[in-house]
Structure 1
Amino acid sequence: MRILILGTGGMANQHAKHFAAIEGVTLAGGVDVDPARVETFCAAHNIERGFGSLDAALAWGEFDAVANVTPDSVHYPTTMAALLAGKHVFCEKPLATDHARASEMTETAERLGLVNMVNLTYRNVAQLQKAREIVQSGELGTVKHFEASYLQSWLVSKAWGDWRTESQWLWRLSKKHGSNGVLGDIGVHILDFATYGAGSDFSRVFCRLETFDKAPDNRIGEYDLDANDSFAMTAQLENGALGVIHASRWATGHFNELRLRVYGDKGALEVQHRHDWSKLFTCLGSDIETGVWTETDVPPVATNYQRFVEACRSGYTLEPSFRHATNIQKVLDLGTVTDRDRMEHQV
């Protein structure tokens, strides 16, 4: 199987590394509008050819699938071009910047019978996979409540670099540079983390967004710092469970941490995932009377990269699909609408 890496920024290195490690996969080409960057990227990952545009790569055409690692606002046109050229697509999150474009991408992929997946990376967390299995087995009983959070501190700490001077961070704070803030950037992850682990999709949501002052006139150079920094959402799932979801880049002391708690009438579980470890705790059976929580050992699971290759080889799309990401995008869009309207909306 031959894969084209579209976009050669930081995350593209992860795509190249993971795909190259899969037996039978060849990195056939790399694409970037910056000639020096694509040349360096291809040399670093032993990639056969470099291209300055997707059009040039598609004209060559000697590959089976595209790993789309372009900026968020470019996902739609580039994915559509790849699909119309008959290529399977593995797209970075979010699938698109709005529900309408995501729907068109999904319908196109499905109409053409092409494999499509979105790299919701926390599906690679074995503890989350096990949590979903526990919920679906009925061990927790009827799920009543859930809590989910995604906490980052890069607006406080320089551990990831200095956002005040580095454009790789500044664009994430600016609407005109394609950012939908923390809601669009990491909100997509925690919404998926919550619903996947809790075993049910959204039915109703209400979201509040906040953009805090970060510089004089909230501007640095060409960047207007107007994208949201934090969100807090109340949500009800199709299974009736009520819960809260929140995320922030101002979470001092938390480099990159996701947490999910699911409470049922027969038991509960908690998933903790950080950049350096993951843990799953359960409170089941007689332990619910004493409040004792037990850590559960979980074996590794296949990564999204491995599952995409498996899907291409079988010809059948696996989750997380474009269709699933489109449903998540609808909730993200509603988050902005509910903040504007100051009222709950049905999904």
Structure 2
Amino acid sequence: MVKLLILGTGSMAVSHATNFQAAPDTELVAAVETDAARREAFGKQFGIENLFADLESAIAWGEFDAVANVTPDAVHYPTTMRLIAAGKHVFCEKPLATSYPLALEMADAAEAKGIINMVNFTYRNSPALQKARELVRSGAIGDIRYFEASYLQSWLVSKAWGDWRTESRWLWRLSSQHGSKGVLGDVGVHIVDFASFGADTDIVAVDSRLKTFHKADGDKIGEYPLDANDSAVMTAEFANGALGTITATRFATGHANDLTLRIFGTSGGMEVKTDGKTSALRICEGPEIDTFGWETVECPPVPTTYERFAKACNTGVNGEPDFRRAAEVQRILDLCFAQEATRALHAAAPATAAE
């Protein structure tokens, strides 16, 4: 039985607590939250009696085996490193860190300490994605030659989730000053993992563009400068040489939260779709290649990331996705940010008179 502590009690922590309470051989024993009112409310909601105002107090108490780290992105690194030093297993929210060097340091430290380390790439929970990877591995579509992956959201257009212009829970995601790395840092981390995991390969090169659109007078609302990227487009190359595109945007009118992956090989093609709740897989192979026919593939349920982490803690065998995988995804994102920074620098450079 793994004894679990929840670190941070924001909205995503509710999902963690709910899923871990349902996971086999798992007991929620404690929570850490700096805000007293939220701390007490969270404890009452999930029946957690051991509540702490800071991580050091919880570590001093010590009666837990593992931690679900649901703190803000920039806090993942210092808190996780402290937990690793204390010998606690860690299930960290995405992104693992705000940069590749920090993520790599976390992966190295966790492996050196021998603790269970995993990251919550929630779309690994898609039965269709897991089945697609299995089919790629079996050679069902031959060698991959081309792919398309997209993550489409529309909360900058639709008010289905509320009005982003007036709500801090959305505004901070548009402001680098408040820790946001835009759509690339928020959901790009998911679609990069989604694409390369589904295709059962690594991304070896990217050429990207990031775009921030004018959304308010002075590009600012209250204390929030609206400078984080709203759309991201990258051309990517897989390890076998296949080329494709990976895109993410918050301006996809008509789409709530849709991930799509299309993979085309020398003997077939597949399409994966999910909204995080339901998923579907289609394949075109065999005689249907000549008739352009697509068949729906049945996809059995798969364990969630929460269940896989609980199992890893109970068996001592690390699960996927681990810290090193998350660091590799962060490497790709860092390349995209670096390319955009270089482009901006060149655009700002004064013109040189021709000789």
Question: TM-score when scaled to structure 1?
Answer: 0.97
Partner of 2:341: 340
| Identity level (%) | 57
What is the rounded CA distance, in whole Å, between the counterparts of 2:173 and 2:49 in structure 1?
Answer: 32
Partner of 2:141: 140
1:290-333 CA distance string (max 9 Å, x none): 00011111111000001001111121211100000000000000
Partner of 1:162: 163
Between the two proteins, the alignment pairs up a number of residues equal to: 343
Does the CA contact (< 8 Å) of 1:27 and 1:48 recur in 2? Answer: no
What is the rounded CA distance, in whole Å, between the counterparts of 1:48 and 1:206 in structure 2?
Answer: 50
Does the CA contact (< 8 Å) of 1:149 and 1:247 recur in 2? Answer: yes
- More displaced, 149-158 or 212-221? 212-221
Q: In structure 2, what residue type is equivalent to 1:132?
A: R
Does the CA contact (< 8 Å) of 1:255 and 1:275 recur in 2? Answer: no
What is the rounded CA distance, in whole Å, between the counterparts of 1:265 and 1:337 in structure 2?
Answer: 34
Partner of 1:195: 196
Partner of 1:17: 18
What is the rounded CA distance, in whole Å, between the counterparts of 1:300 and 1:276 in structure 2?
Answer: 12
What is the rounded CA distance, in whole Å, between the counterparts of 1:70 and 1:45 in structure 2?
Answer: 18
What is the rounded CA distance, in whole Å, between the counterparts of 1:159 and 1:241 in structure 2?
Answer: 38
What is the rounded CA distance, in whole Å, between the counterparts of 2:47 and 2:104 in structure 1?
Answer: 35
Structure 1 segments unaligned to the other structure (5+ residues): none
Does the CA contact (< 8 Å) of 2:117 and 2:318 recur in 1? Answer: yes
What is the rounded CA distance, in whole Å, between the counterparts of 1:155 and 1:305 in structure 2?
Answer: 30
Partner of 1:204: 205
Q: In structure 2, what residue type is equivalent to 1:222?
A: E
* Residue 315 (structure 2) pairs with residue 330 (structure 1): no
Secondary structure in 1 matching 2:193: helix
Does the CA contact (< 8 Å) of 2:126 and 2:278 recur in 1? Answer: no
Q: How far off is 1:273 after superposition?
A: 0.8
Does the CA contact (< 8 Å) of 1:206 and 1:339 recur in 2? Answer: no
Does the CA contact (< 8 Å) of 2:32 and 2:53 recur in 1? Answer: yes
Q: How far off is 1:169 after superposition?
A: 1.1
**Correspondences of 1:1-347 after superposition (within 5 Å):** 1-342=2-343
Does the CA contact (< 8 Å) of 1:201 and 1:237 recur in 2? Answer: yes
Does the CA contact (< 8 Å) of 2:262 and 2:271 recur in 1? Answer: yes
Q: How far off is 1:342 after superposition?
A: 4.7
Secondary structure in 1 matching 2:130: helix
Partner of 2:347: none
Question: TM-score when scaled to structure 2?
Answer: 0.95
Secondary structure in 2 matching 1:186: helix
1:78-119 CA distance string (max 9 Å, x none): 111111111000000000000111011111100100000000
- More displaced, 119-128 or 45-54? 45-54
- More displaced, 258-267 or 167-176? 167-176
What is the rounded CA distance, in whole Å, between the counterparts of 2:184 and 2:269 in structure 1?
Answer: 27
Secondary structure in 1 matching 2:123: helix
What is the rounded CA distance, in whole Å, between the counterparts of 1:34 and 1:72 in structure 2?
Answer: 18
Q: How far off is 1:122 after superposition?
A: 0.3
Secondary structure in 2 matching 1:335: helix
Q: In structure 1, what residue type is equivalent to 2:58?
A: A
Q: In structure 2, what residue type is equivalent to 1:77?
A: P
What is the rounded CA distance, in whole Å, between the counterparts of 1:34 and 1:164 in structure 2?
Answer: 25
What is the rounded CA distance, in whole Å, between the counterparts of 1:32 and 1:141 in structure 2?
Answer: 50
What is the rounded CA distance, in whole Å, between the counterparts of 1:192 and 1:109 in structure 2?
Answer: 21
Q: In structure 2, what residue type is equivalent to 1:285?
A: G
Secondary structure in 1 matching 2:280: strand
Secondary structure in 2 matching 1:70: coil
Does the CA contact (< 8 Å) of 1:148 and 1:246 recur in 2? Answer: yes
What is the rounded CA distance, in whole Å, between the counterparts of 2:25 and 2:194 in structure 1?
Answer: 31
Secondary structure in 2 matching 1:157: coil
Q: In structure 2, what residue type is equivalent to 1:339?
A: E
Q: In structure 2, what residue type is equivalent to 1:328?
A: V
What is the rounded CA distance, in whole Å, between the counterparts of 1:62 and 1:38 in structure 2?
Answer: 18
Q: How far off is 1:276 after superposition?
A: 4.7
What is the rounded CA distance, in whole Å, between the counterparts of 1:275 and 1:216 in structure 2?
Answer: 34
What is the rounded CA distance, in whole Å, between the counterparts of 1:85 and 1:328 in structure 2?
Answer: 26
What is the rounded CA distance, in whole Å, between the counterparts of 2:169 and 2:300 in structure 1?
Answer: 35
